[in-house]
Amino acid sequence: AAGLATALSSAAMAADGMTVGFSQIGSESGWRAAETSVTKSQAESRGINLKFADAQQKQENQIKAIRGFIAQGVDAILVAPVVATGWDDVLNEAKEANIPVVLLDRGIDGPEDLYLTSVASDQVKEGRVAGQWLVDTVKDKDCKVVELQGTVGSTPAINRKKGFEEAIAGSKNITIIRSQTGDFTRSKGKEVMEGFLKAENGGKGICALYAHNDDMAVGAIQAIKDAGLKPGTDILVVSIDAVPDIFTAIAAGEANATVELTPNMAGPAFDALAAFKKDGTVPPKFIITESKLYTAADDPKGEYERRKGLGY
Ligand code: AHR
């Protein structure tokens, strides 16, 4: 993540010497792998001792890891919560132990006093940006959409669906005809898209694919090609993350648009923890990252190269 190396302010350096536990979900997507590598390099550049635990997509593993961090007496805990519910007990234990918790990239259903701050995108907005792109692109044309949802019960899956539906609500010509989870993975995205294509007369009636992340879109693009159709032309493809591989697909005309999610959630999280440690400064409850739309008009080859310097 050389591209993220920045001169750190003295406030940010207050994190120097802290021990921080990080309960990561797993490595289901290219974006997730980049978030892990960026978090590690951000910790290193600030002199933070990062204890990393990969939960292999299981909430029970995350809860175990958090309990382990509490037992070790870490200074703070970062957690990317795989699903929204079921965190109250373990986060109360952290609170009782006076260990600040920062949520990364996904939210939870639970009292806001269980965490110091949450660093994440506005996921409803991401869905809206993707949906608005489709509305603007198809105009009055009838458009049947298939949707690949993220992990069931996760806030990005819930909110990205909601935002997209909001954006297309005023366009009676656009309808979601099938919607199923692909669990944010490339392999599941491909498999579920194959099912959609089969169920929809080989895909002839499908106008667009909306995938809650780029990895599922990349898997689905392969399924569309295998079915003898042209992704990006016969079936429009819009997704979320802005990972390097989607820019390769956009440059080749096989995907149309993506909404950027920065993999650098840890930088703002460590800044907030450093200020809190230094003089008790309480950060805003929600630190919201940007959601920028990229299409073929935005130099996809250049964006691919730029991503390579961002920790991907
Ligand atoms: O929580 C963020 C989502 O999780 C990313 O969009 C997706 O790629 C990841 O798996």
- The whole-angstrom separation of Cα 150 and Cα 185 is 8
What is the per-residue pLDDT for 309? Answer: 83
Best CA proximity match to 164, nearest among 203, 205, 123, 200: 123
How far, in Å, from the CA of 259 to the mean position of ligand 1?
A: 12
Q: Which ligand 1 atom minimizes the distance to the CA of 243?
A: 8
Kindly state the average pLDDT of the residues 229-236: 98
Please tell me what DSSP assigns to residue 254.
Answer: S
What is the per-residue pLDDT for 10? Answer: 66
Best CA proximity match to 204, nearest among 133, 253, 146: 146
ipTM over 0.90: yes
Residue 1's pLDDT band (cuts 50, 70, 90): very low
Residue 5 pLDDT exceeds 50: no
How far, in Å, from the CA of 261 to the mean position of ligand 1?
A: 8
Per the model's pLDDT, the better-predicted residue between 58 and 2 turns out to be 58
| Ligand 1 atom 4, closest CA | 32
φ, ψ at 52 (rounded to 5°):
-105, 130
What is the per-residue pLDDT for 68? Answer: 98
Kindly state the average pLDDT of the residues 233-250: 98
The model's pTM is 0.96
263, 268, 311 from 9: Cα distances, Å: 21, 13, 21
How far, in Å, from the CA of 308 to the mean position of ligand 1?
A: 18
Number of H helices, E strands in the chain: 10, 12
How far, in Å, from the CA of 280 to the mean position of ligand 1?
A: 31
Task: For ligand 1, pick from 31, 79, 103, 291 the residue to mutate: most ligand atoms within 8 Å of CB.
Answer: 31
Tens of pLDDT, residues 85-98: 999 999 999 999 99
Mean pLDDT score of the chain, rounded to an integer? 96
Tens of pLDDT, residues 58-108: 999 999 999 999 999 999 999 999 999 999 999 999 999 999 999 999 999
